[in-house]
């Protein structure tokens, strides 16, 4: 986990390839989260990692990762997510030339499926689609580095064998994967734009009911059918901070300038909404059922302010003209005024 002095280089594995972009809260007081991006080109060799500060929610957008864990193996491809609980040791193998993706390191309450409320017994992500690994182990007598994130720092120790030698396990604290294509998207079938909370896959609750420590929310392929409605996300500001990423396709509120692997940040109470072309297209559209295909955007959304790292602020890729997309809006006519 680099402190951000330089980007990933020649031979980079998962631990070496993680770069922190934004953080909020504090792992020592167990609230908030960090968002890291990774770009790697080799498997972890003779080293394993665990994070004592939080769990890791991994969202790949390029290249499949195989998490070899104390509990067994999980292969996680783009379109899927993997979750490694706090303190669980693992290494990451890749099969192809490289892999890139997003990681949310959650310092707060473990992610779980949201309460469904009136949605009832089934819907959104169904429990049966969260896949735990079959127990598996390796019996390797080779010097192995254990890298631990503990108290915000990385620590290293060496042991004479692989610690991924756990033969069996039981309980309810284990890594899992989930295929986002199995998400049962629910939304209005009449009118109005519904809060994006309706697309919550996993939530880390805070001690305050109603405001999450972090929500993981997706915008998957789905039917959009609302009548009498401006269909894209409306202009708004709110108490939550939104870190947005893209796994594939395009996002309906920002047709240009947002690519897989990219990220945008709208912090608490900062106004935002669709760009002018998206707005104009939505206003002009004749409303009929439309299947939004080939899209998979997501948000890590938190009650706290996400603060960018110096690395993130100094990247050449930083879009310094981001708010230009809202230029060009014309004032609505005030009735009765010329």
Beta pairing partners, 244: 264, 299
CB of 44 or CB of 88, closer to a copy of itself: 88
Tally the C-alpha atoms within 13 A of residue 1's C-alpha that lie toward its C-beta.
21
Q: Which stretch binds a copy of itself (CB under 8 A): 40-48, 56-64, 250-258, 267-275?
A: 267-275
Binding of residue 303 to a copy of itself (CB under 8 A): yes
3-class secondary structure for 148-169?
Answer: EEECCEEEEEEECCCCCCCCCC
Task: Judge whether 18 and 36 are in contact, CB under 8 Å.
Answer: yes
Q: Using alpha carbons, select from 177, 150, 175, 164 the residue that is nearest to residue 84.
A: 175
Q: How many residues bind a copy of itself (CB under 8 A)?
A: 72
* Near a copy of itself by CB under 8 A: residue from 121, 156, 320, 330: 121
Is residue 9 classed as helix, strand or coil in its secondary structure?
A: coil
Q: Name which of residues 177 to 236 contact a copy of itself (CB under 8 A).
A: 183-192, 194-198, 200, 207-208, 220-225
CB of 10 to a copy of itself, least distance (A): 31
Give min distance, CB of 59 to a copy of itself, in A: 19
Least Å distance, CB 119 to a copy of itself, is 6
Encoded one letter per residue, x for contact with a copy of itself by CB under 8 A and - for no contact, window 53-82 reads ------------------------------
Is residue 136 part of the contact set for a copy of itself (CB under 8 A)?
no
156 binds a copy of itself (CB under 8 A): no
Active site residues: 193
Phi, psi of 59 (to 5 degrees): -125, 90
Instruction: Pick one of 9, 140, 269, 313: the residue that binds a copy of itself (CB under 8 A).
Output: 269
Question: Phi and psi dihedrals of 196, rounded to 5?
Answer: -65, -10
The minimum distance between CB 220 and a copy of itself, in angstroms, equals: 7
For residue 318, state whether it binds a copy of itself (rule: CB under 8 A). Answer: no
Say whether residue 115 binds a copy of itself (CB under 8 A): yes
- Does residue 329 belong to the site contacting a copy of itself (CB under 8 A)? no
Cα–chain-centroid distance for residue 145? 28
CA-to-CA separations, 36 to 56, 149, 288, 296, in angstroms, rounded = 10, 14, 39, 19
- Sign (positive/negative) of CA torsion 283, 286, 289, 290? negative
């Amino acid at each position: 986990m680099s402190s951000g002095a330089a980007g990933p280089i020649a031979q980079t594995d998962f631990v070496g390839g993680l770069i922190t972009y934004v953080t909020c809260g504090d792992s020592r007081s167990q609230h908030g989260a960090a968002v890291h991006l990774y770009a790697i080109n080799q498997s972890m060799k003779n080293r394993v990692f665990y994070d004592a500060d939080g769990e890791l929610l991994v969202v790949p957008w390029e290249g499949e990762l195989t998490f070899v864990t104390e509990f067994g193996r999980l292969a996680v491809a783009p379109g899927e997510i993997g979750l490694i609980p706090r303190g669980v040791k693992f290494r990451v193998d890749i099969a192809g030339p490289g892999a890139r993706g997003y990681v949310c390191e959650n310092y707060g309450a473990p992610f779980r499926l949201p309460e469904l409320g009136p949605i009832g017994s089934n819907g959104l992500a169904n429990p049966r689609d969260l896949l735990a690994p079959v127990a598996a182990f390796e019996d390797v007598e080779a010097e192995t580095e254990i890298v631990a994130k503990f108290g915000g720092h990385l620590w290293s120790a060496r042991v004479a064998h692989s610690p991924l030698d756990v033969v069996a396990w039981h309980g309810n604290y284990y890594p899992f994967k989930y295929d986002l294509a199995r998400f049962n998207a629910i939304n209005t079938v009449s009118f109005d734009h519904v809060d994006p909370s309706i697309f919550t896959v996993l939530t880390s609750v805070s001690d305050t009911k109603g405001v999450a420590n972090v929500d993981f929310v997706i915008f998957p392929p789905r039917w959009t059918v609302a009548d009498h409605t401006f269909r894209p996300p409306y202009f708004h500001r709110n108490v939550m901070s939104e870190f947005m990423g893209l796994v594939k396709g395009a996002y309906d509120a920002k047709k240009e300038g947002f690519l897989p692997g990219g990220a945008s940040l709208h912090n608490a109470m900062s106004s935002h909404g669709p760009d002018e072309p998206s707005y104009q297209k939505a206003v002009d559209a004749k409303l009929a059922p439309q299947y939004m295909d080939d899209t998979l955007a997501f948000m890590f959304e938190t009650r706290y302010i996400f603060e960018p790292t110096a690395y993130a602020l100094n990247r050449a890729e930083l879009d310094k003209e981001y708010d230009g997309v809202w230029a060009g809006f014309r004032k609505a006519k005030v009735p009765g005024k010329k």
